[in-house]
């Protein structure tokens, strides 16, 4: 049965891709942008770009107002205070800010806990912090479904744990992680908690007051917004523990040749000229998303996801990794290398992702050198998936 997307026409790139005979199913890597975002970027650049916070002229005042309006929109989206929202250049940038800004809190023998399914962006900063401070990186194992094994994790997170960093939604396995129990246990041990929301933020609204993490990060470009923009949320007491790690304009309170003082969050962690246009574009994205029927979006994505999983399970020799909850599915095909099938799909205009998905340790733990990933967005429809399955069948016929 045809499952149309009522929001497809809001994304001009989808029609452009169709004219190029391309079907876009790589949304976990980056999403297309609604017309509202394109309009916001065009307006900013076309009506007088200016730097924020420093200028006394009208273009500077308008840019600052639009920039800070987005901070307010992000805060409202997450149920946070605007002063808890720091703009970065992406989730990776935000996680590195934390790893350097919190470094002084770690001593030899301390423990940092991460899960076995983390994206490199939420593994490598903590790995390198552990190396610098002679701390121990503890890896939380997974269960058979691709979720953090809660029973084992609660045993591994103990009094020596200084920080827990986990993904909200796996970018490879498509599984929601048991955050409430994990975060509560880590808090009880006195550990800081970091949630990588890069995938999770795209699928539903998440109230950070209920989640009760110390830090939460995400990237704009996965949430239908511009590239080069990230968000770092921090609870007030957690932000006070951060030390400045980048220095320059904007974050300075008083500067002299031999010593300087710096602003608190959020501006104290936004050194230099920020990605102004991108931040304004993110604000337009949140405005657009706020007007949608969230239940209708969730139902549409769930229906498509079910169609995807059924189609994969119906084909012989395909193994889906984990038990995906939403949005995506990663799979391998018996006797066929993932790079070969990805090439065949690309030849037929199907844009999916192949390889280790920036989660190489996870794929190694699964004894795989890569997998195919199909990931969905609100503008996809069942015709997209049917074209994918037709191309997949044709590729399998040639490769087997």
C-alpha distance across the termini of the chain, in Å:
29
Class of domain 38-290: alpha beta
Integer Cα distance of 242 and 234 in angstroms: 10
At residue 124, the 3 state secondary structure works out as helix
Count CB neighbours of 257 within 10 A.
5
Tens digits of residue pLDDT in 77-135:
999 999 999 999 999 999 999 999 999 999 999 999 999 999 999 999 999 999 999 99
Q: What is the phi/psi pair of residue 341, to 5°? A: -70, -35
- Enumerate the active-site residues: 358
Do the domains 38-290 and 8-25+294-399 match in fold? no
CA angle, residues 228, 231, 234, in degrees to nearest 5: 155
Mean pLDDT, residues 313-337 taken together: 96
Residue 79 — left, alpha, or beta (φ > 0 → left; ψ -120 to 50 → alpha)?
left
CA angle, residues 76, 244, 128, in degrees to nearest 5: 100
Residue 271 has pLDDT above 70, yes or no: yes
Integer Cα distance of 217 and 94 in angstroms: 6
Mean pLDDT of the chain: 97
Return the CATH fold of 8-25+294-399.
3.90.1150
Token pair recorded at residue 238: 């957690």
Q: Residue 64: which of 52, 48, 46 has the closest Cα?
A: 52
Cα atoms in the Cβ-side hemisphere of radius 13 Å centred on 119: 23
Mean pLDDT, residues 189-217 taken together: 98
Residue 163 has pLDDT above 70, yes or no: yes
Confidence band, pLDDT 50/70/90 cuts, at residue 250: confident
Domain ranges across the chain: 8-25+294-399, 38-290
Integer Cα distance of 184 and 49 in angstroms: 45
Integer Cα distance of 388 and 365 in angstroms: 28
Integer Cα distance of 64 and 183 in angstroms: 36
| Run of H or E residues at 208 | helix 208-211
Q: How long is the chain?
A: 400
């Amino acid at each position: 049965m045809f499952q149309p997307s009522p929001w497809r026409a809001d994304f001009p790139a989808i029609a452009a891709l169709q004219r190029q005979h391309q079907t876009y199913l790589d949304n976990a890597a980056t999403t297309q942008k609604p017309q509202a975002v394109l309009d916001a970027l065009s307006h900013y650049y076309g009506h007088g770009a200016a730097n924020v916070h420093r200028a006394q002229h009208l273009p500077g005042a308008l840019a600052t107002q639009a920039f800070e309006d987005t901070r307010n929109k992000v805060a409202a989206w997450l149920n946070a205070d605007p002063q808890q929202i720091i703009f970065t250049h992406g989730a990776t940038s935000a996680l590195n800010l934390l790893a350097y800004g919190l470094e002084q809190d770690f001593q030899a023998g301390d423990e940092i806990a991460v899960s076995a399914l983390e994206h490199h962006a939420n593994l490598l900063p903590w790995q390198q912090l552990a190396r610098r401070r002679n701390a121990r990186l503890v890896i939380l194992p997974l269960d058979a479904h691709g979720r953090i094994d809660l029973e084992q994790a609660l045993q591994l997170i103990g009094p020596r744990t200084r920080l827990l960093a986990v993904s909200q939604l796996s970018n490879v396995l498509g599984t929601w992680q048991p955050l409430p129990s994990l975060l509560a246990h880590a808090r009880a041990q006195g550990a800081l908690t970091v949630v990588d929301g890069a995938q999770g933020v795209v699928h539903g609204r998440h109230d950070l007051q209920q989640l009760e993490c110390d830090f939460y990060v995400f990237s704009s470009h996965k949430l239908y917004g511009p590239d080069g923009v990230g968000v770092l949320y921090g609870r007030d007491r957690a932000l006070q523990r951060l030390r400045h790690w980048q220095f320059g304009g904007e974050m300075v309170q008083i500067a002299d040749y031999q010593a300087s003082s710096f602003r608190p969050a959020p501006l104290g962690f936004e050194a230099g000229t920020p990605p102004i246009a991108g931040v304004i574009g993110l604000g337009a994205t949140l405005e657009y998303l706020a007007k949608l029927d969230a239940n209708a979006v969730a139902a549409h994505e769930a229906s498509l996801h079910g169609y995807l999983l059924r189609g994969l399970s119906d084909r012989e020799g395909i193994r889906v990794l984990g038990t995906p909850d939403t949005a995506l599915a990663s799979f391998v095909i018996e006797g066929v290398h993932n790079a070969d099938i990805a090439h065949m799909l690309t030849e037929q205009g199907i844009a999916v992702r192949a390889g280790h998905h920036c989660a190489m340790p996870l794929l190694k733990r699964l004894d795989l050198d890569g997998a195919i990933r199909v990931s969905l967005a609100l503008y996809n429809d069942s015709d997209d998936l049917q074209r994918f399955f037709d191309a997949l069948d044709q590729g399998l016929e040639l490769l087997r």
